[in-house]
Structures are given as structure tokens and as C-alpha cells.
Structure 1
Amino acid sequence: MMNPDLQKLILQQYYGDNGLQYTSGRIPIASCDFSTHSYSYNDHVGDLAQGNFSIAVDLAQKIPLIKSAMAMSSRPLRFFSSPWSAPGWMKTNGIMTGGGKLIDDPRYWSSWALYLSKFLTAYEETGIPIWGITVQNEPNWPSLWDSMTYTPLEEAHFVKNYLGPLLRKEHPLVKIMIHDDQRDVVVEWATSILNDSETAQYVDGIGVHWYAAVDDLFPYWEKLTEVNALFPSKFILPTEACEGYIPGLSGPAIGDWGRGQTYGLDILQDLQNFAVGWTDWNIVLDLEGGPNHAGNFVDAPIILNTTAKNVFYKNPMYYYMGHFSKFIVPGASRIKLVSNSPLGIAPLETTAFVNPDKSIVVVVLNRDYLEGRSFFIQHSSRYINTFIPPASIQTYIFSS
């Protein structure tokens, strides 16, 4: 277990005023693959009334950690939650891992909705309000670890008949997000679910992941713009991404600049295609890329050296994240930015936002690993000449 002083120091890197000043976070509902083991909040077989539901397992570590982040943040934090699996006794395969579905019985579907509502209530009672919930983490993927699958029509059925009505009654302010899976199929999932008005009335947003893009070799960003055009009233939130997930390249790569570049590109292009934010996966992992009870080791912006006392490493991903999280604040709006470049030269990647205080933030990414680029930024009557080095990211702020 990490000592309290080190834990506080690492949290400050993300949530403190001298850190990245994160304003959101994702909370797994019970276990995920990065838990030390699979667990649920109710292992009492047949307890469809969820009378034995309890978040006691979270009281020792998870909840105090979240509260520490809340206490050190000068900005309000918005947390959303995601289930990886229902308790095994509620599923067709009898266990929390390896996929499986909810047992096809209205009593079980109703009980699962109640379980999720009880989670929201229990966390609120500890002083952690939950802003949103995704229906299911990666419902299209029966992974070896904690997982549960739906088809789009099954997810729509659950939202329309069980989860939506219950949450609108018991937690009317909590945002409900569908999909929470890969960008490449988001259009198909969104249309299957949201074309039914009785389902759509309960849905606030659409969650997306990046893994099918294979480090953005096949980015699918245009899918976000397409979904926004079809359903402009539903927000799009990237709910999970990490580096080091590709077989053969998995786990941490300390100091890998390319992974930072990929983060910068993905965040920028998601924002350019109507995303309202961007969510990293783990804030800290060990040198192996865990702990992970399924051996699904990946990378993180901060890597803890558990073999040395009080040593951790900040990867380039950490600093790339900061160009967005620290300067584009909640309530900011994306504004039009026209980017031109000489004939035959690829344009710089750019995005611009106006913050609530009327300051304007321009983020510039140079993907060229060999050449820097001189360029200028003009805003109204203000004009600057500047330079960006090869393979780098910069943020410019125009005060109000």
C-alpha cells in the first residue's frame, strides 16, 4: 500500500493548483480489471431486492482517495461511474469475468437497475456526488476480465424499461450515458438506441473509447461529428483511453515521447469533433503497468517505482494532458480557428476555446518529428509570431 504522504503528493500532481487541475474522474462501480480482485457489492445469491447491497469494500481505500482529491481541488469535480459487471449470480455465465449477459428475466433486469441506483445513493451519502453514469463499460466486448455484454437493442431495452425510469425517479440530476465503447461503432450504437424516442428521453450523452483506433492509426474522429449531427442534444464524452495496450507494446514505456504525442493528438481531435471533455484511464500504475488481476498491463501518465522509496516518474503523457486540463476550464466553449500552411506542408494541429472569463486558449500540436515550424496567431487586433519545435505541443492564452 502506498504511504499517505506519497499518495497525497501524487494526487496533488493531478488535482492540486500546482498540478494538472483535473475537474473530472471516472469511478468503477465495484471491480474492474485494475482492481486487485473481482468483487461486487452484493454476493448474496437471489437477493433481487438488493437488501444486502453494501459499498463497505470501498470505505477503506477508494472513497478516502476520492475525498482527498476533492479536498485539494480548487475547482469543482464531476465524477461519473461505470459498471464492468453485475454480480456473477445475476449473469448467464455465473461469474463476473469473461463476458456473459444479465439473466433474461425482468426481475434480474429490474434488480440490476436497483443495484446501480443504490450505488449512486451510497456514494452520495458518503459525500461524493455522482454527476453521471454509463450504462455499461464496453458492452460490445466480452473481455477476459470483469465484463458484461449487451447488443445495442438490449442496452436500449434496459435504459427504456428499467434504468431510465428508476434513475429519473431516484436520481433525476444524474446524467445517463450510453455506449461507453469504441469510436468506430458509435454511429451504429447511437442510432440503434436513440432513434427510439422512448429510450432517448432518458439518455443525456454518449461515451466513447479510443482503442479500436490503434494509437490513432485508424482514428474515426469523423464518427463523433456524424453522431453530433444526428443527435445534437446528446453530449459526447470520451470516457476512457490509455497507452501501452497494444499486444507486443503493452505496459509502461518510461519517457516515451510518442505516447505523449498520441495523447495530444487524440484529445485535440476529439475536441475538434464535438467531444465535451476527455478521460484518461489510470492516474498511476506500477512499473509492470498494474496492479491488474487479469494481467492486462498498460501505461499511465505517472508510474510508481514500488521497488524504491517515494519514487515516481511523470511520463510525457502527463504533460500533454496538462495543456488541456489546466488551461481549458469547465464552461469553456470551442471557437472557430482557421489554420493555414504553405502548399505541400501538413498543417499544425490546432484547437481554440474561450473560457468563462473570456480568455482565449489556443493549443498547437506539431506532429513532425524532424522539423519545427514558425507560425503566427492572430486574434482580433492582437498578433504574435512564434515557433514550435519538432514533436511538441504548446498552449497560448489571450487574456480577456
Structure 2
Amino acid sequence: MRYLFFILSFCSVFYATAQERIISTENQQWQVQPAEKVKFPKGVTVEKVKVNINQPLQEIHGFGGSFNALGYKALTILPEEEQQKVMADLFSDEGTAFNLCRMPLGANDFSERWYSFDEVNQDFDLKHFNIEEDKKNLIPYIKFAKKYAPELQVWASPWSPPMWMKHNRHYGGRATNMQWGPLYGDNMEEIFANNRFIMEDRYLTTYANYFSKFISSYQQEGIEIYSVQPQNEVQANQFFPSCVWTPQDLHRFTEEYLIPTLSEDHPEVSVLYGTLNMDSVEYVDVLMKNSKAQGIGVQWDGIESIEYIKNNYPNIEIMQTESECNNGLNNWFTAEHTFDLLYTSFKQGANSYMYWNMILDDLGLSTWMWRQNSMISIDRYTQAVTYNPEYYVMKHFSNLIQKGAHMLSVDSNKDLKVLAFQNTDGSIAIIGGNTTDEDQYFKLDMDGKTEKVILPSHSILSIPFSQKINH
């Protein structure tokens, strides 16, 4: 269940003492403990953390991960009953309660193979467009999730256009994973200064229609796409599916072709720029000049640009589109790193946060042989299911923070990583993380009421509060 409490009594509004605290450490995750009276050891430094109830910040739109083909392949290793449990633990209110998830528009590095929806050369009328490959894994994966989260919102971005729409006629930007040897040229500044996409009207028009046909095809499968972003990692020149765009040409495609096409065909679908994989305010400024896009998607390696976007474009949506994939070790060290990414993203102004692979098998290998982390690992031989530490890191946020919540202003020592969120029902979640080697001690002041809190070294702590109302 979501840890929300509704207690009514009778005059002014105040918050009850937390009824429990939820803590995760390297050895034990998601330990629900009664909120007993806390005593600080003598001689320790006690900080102050003040939650400003009357200073709401950005609205929180949700949490999720990415639907990838290899994730569904791993899930189907399990017997039906175990599959149901795993999906419930991701999408039901008792689990991570994900409400906002990503999918690739065509192939990505965790697809079974390279494909696009139309690889017939110069098929400008898209007569050969089809989503047959998605019917094997992605569509069943999404429909499975919607059994537990009927209101789940799904957004999409391509890793690469069809190969015939690119100058290099290849799904990647370079031939191998050895150094940065590209398919043509070896000057990296030159590569990132030039598009891979062919910037001619007939290609641009067709590509915008390609997005529209994707949305229509998914609607026919009973899946609504609520938002799209025109390119995953706009400045990634990978040997797996990828496509470099300059900001000027991405702006041209999005403003002159994609947005007008979708406004006509699918006005219910929003367009966000992204996903940005670098901290470049110059790139952002080019994109947002006279823009009709509703927002920007920024992933972990562009995280430092979120604050700039929030300060300079305060009325747009900011989505954290991808948590760092790491190296497949799925250990507590990477869990702490993910906490830091969550903390920084929301502190700087993000409205939502996406994990990457929700499920993988025990190897965690992409089709292009990059081993990565996942929230849940499934052993190919024993069918053992392992909930990795990052599953619980996400749960510390997503289980307690509802769609429509607002982050609250918090005054504290900069060395204390503490966030506060208020849900639409008035309940509040305090979430703190301590990635240092020393315990941290603070007095939590919320609406004039104080509580003592010990944040153990290398731990994540969530404290849910109910709202009491007196008349």
C-alpha cells in the first residue's frame, strides 16, 4: 500500500507525529519501523531541517522506467504466477506504483535486434510502415503493466530514424565500440556539429508522419501514447542505434514538422525536446527560442542543466528521462548514486523521474553487449528473482509521492540531503539519504512541530506524515 494516513479530529491544521519510518541500508532494504522516541548521543552535531509547508515548488508528474524488449524476454522466463508478482511489485500501489513510463520508438540497445517501422528505401508515403516487431515484446509488456496501473502514461522517443533517412545509411553513428571510430570521419567536433539526419523537406515531412503513424498504430492496439521526444540522446554517436542532431536542425524538425503534424493528427499528444544527454545551456537556448514544445527531457548526463532550464523557462515541463545505467553490478554503491541523481533532479526542478531497465536477466547485457543495472534481475536457469537495491531506492520516492504532489521548500545544511513532498490529500513524505561514513542528526521542524531524526550512514530514510485537521 502507499503509506498514506487519514486521521480526522476537531480546529487548526497540524501534522501528526510520523507513525513509522522506512529505512534502507546495504544489508536490509525497505525496513518499516515504528517511529519510536529518538535520543541523540551526547556530543553529536545536531542540524536543523525546516519544511516550509506554505512554500510549494514544482508539481510532481510521476515515476517510472523504460519498457524494453529484453526486459519482457527476461520476465517471461518466469512461471505466470511469478510474472504477476513482479509486475505488481512494479505497478501496483503496494510496489513502486509507477505511473509514467518510457518506450523506444523503434529499436534501441535493449531490443532483440535492429529494426525500424519502415526500412524500405525512400518509402516517403510510408506504405510499408508496420509495428509487427513491437507485437512480440513491447506491446505485451505495456499491456501487462496496465493491468496493475490502468492510468499508466507511456511516452516514446526514437534511438534512430530508419537507416535510409540518415546520411550514413546506418542505425548507429560509428561502426564499432573500439575508441570512437565513426562510420565516416574521425573528428569528433565535426561529427557533433553535423546531423546524421538528411535535412531535406521530403525526409522531414516523412519522419513527422512516421511519428504520427506510430501513435495511430498503438492506439489501434489499445495503447495511448501521451507524449513524444524527437531523439534519444541528441549528442550520442554510438555503435548501437543513435542519431546526432544539431540544436538548430532539431529545432527546425520539431517546430516546423513534428509539432504541426501531431497538432493536426494527434492534438492530445505533447511534444518535449529531448532527450538531452549533455549540460549545454547553449543547446537548450536554441531549442527553446520561439518554441511550441511543452517541455524538455533531460537524462542523467545532462542533469546539471535542469536548474538552468527551471530558472530560464519556468513554465515548461522538465522530465528526468533516464537514470544512469551503471555496470550491471547492482550493488549498494550504485543505489546511493541513483539516490543522488533523484535528489539532484528534484532539487533543481524536475517534475518526474525515469529509471532505465526495470527488469533484466542475470547477465544484464544489451544486444550490443553492454552490461547494465536493473531494478529486478531474473536468473535464466534457476528462475530466481532478485530485487536489487535500486528497486528500493525508487520505492522510497514513488511509493510515497503521488501524481500531482508538490515538492516543498526545505531549509537545511547543504550537507544534508533531505526533500519533502506534499500529496494532494495533504499527507507529506520526507525523504533523506546519507551517503557519508558518519551518522547524521537533525531536528525536523514542520509547521512548528519538531521531531528528532537520525539518518544512519549509507542509508535512505522515508518518513510519511498524515495530516490532522481540527475545526
TM-score normalised by length of structure 2: 0.76
Note the C-alpha offset of 1:79: 1.1
Asked if 1:116 is matched to 2:211, the reply is yes
CA offsets per residue over residues 27-71 of structure 1, 9 Å max, x none? 101110111100111122221111221112212321111011011
Percent sequence identity is: 28
Higher CA-based Rg: 2
Per-residue CA deviations over 1:120-173 (Å, capped at 9, x if unaligned) read 111122111111111100111111101111100010010121101101111112
Residue number in structure 2 paired with 1:399: 466
Question: Structure 2 counterpart of 1:231, which letter?
Answer: Y
Give the match's secondary structure for 2:349.
coil
Q: 1:333 to 1:183 in 2, by over 3 A?
A: farther
Of residues 14, 20, 41, the one that matches 2:117 is: 41
CA contact (8 A) 2:323 2:356 kept: yes
Q: Residue 5 and residue 98 in structure 1: after superposition, are their counterparts in 2 closer, same or farther (change >3 A)?
A: farther
Deviation track 1:316-341 (CA, whole Å, cap 9, x = no partner) reads 1111111111111100111111114x
Code of the residue aligned with 2:123 in structure 1: it is: D
SS state of the match for residue 352, structure 2? coil
Q: Give the secondary structure class of the aligned counterpart of 1:278.
A: strand
- Distance across 2 between alignment mates of 1:179 and 1:152: 10
State whether structure 2 residue 272 is matched by structure 1 residue 177. yes
Q: CA deviation at 1:18?
A: 2.2
Which is worse superposed, 268-277 or 100-109? 100-109
Count of aligned pairs between the two proteins: 371
* Structure 1 residue corresponding to 2:416, chosen from 321, 332, 348: 348
Structure number with the bigger relative contact order (C-alpha 8 A, sep ≥ 6) is 2
CA distance in 2, matches of 1:178, 1:22: 23
Where do residues 247-396 of structure 1 align in structure 2 (5 Å cutoff)? 250=327, 252-254=328-330, 256-290=331-365, 292-308=366-382, 310-340=383-413, 347-368=415-436, 370-396=437-463
Task: Please state which structure has a larger fraction of its residues in strand.
Answer: 2
CA distance in 2, matches of 1:69, 1:160: 33
Kept in 1, the 8 Å contact 2:325–2:356? The answer is no
Match of residue 190, structure 1, among 281, 284, 307: 284
2:98 and 2:337 map into 1 onto residues whose CA distance is 19
Residue ranges of structure 1 left out of the alignment (5+ in a row): 213-219, 245-249, 341-345
CA root-mean-square deviation = 1.7
Give the aligned partner of residue 343 of structure 1. Answer: none
1:227 is matched with which residue: 291, 309, 315? 309
On the 8 A contact 2:166/2:197 being kept in 1, the answer is yes
Secondary structure of the corresponding residue to residue 36 of structure 1:
coil
Letter aligned with residue 158 of structure 2: P
Deviations 1:279-318 (A, max 9, x none): 011111222222x22112211121221121x212111111
Are the equivalent residues in 2 in contact too, given 1:183–1:224 (CA < 8 A)? no
Superposed CA deviations along residues 351-391 of structure 1, whole A, max 9, x for unmatched, are 111111011111111121x2212322121143221212111
1:106 aligns with 2:201: yes
SS in 1 for 2:457: coil
Deviation track 1:76-135 (CA, whole Å, cap 9, x = no partner) reads: 211110101111122111122226722232101110110011111111221111111111
Q: If the length of structure 1 is used for normalisation, what is the TM-score?
A: 0.89
Counterpart pick for 1:24 among 97, 100, 104 = 100
For residue 294 of structure 1, what is the amino acid of its counterpart? W
Q: Is the 8 A contact 1:243 1:259 kept in 2?
A: no
Q: Distance in 1 between matches of 2:395 and 2:231?
A: 28
Question: Could you say what secondary structure the match of 1:264 adopts?
Answer: helix
- Retained in 1: the 8 A contact 2:235–2:278? no
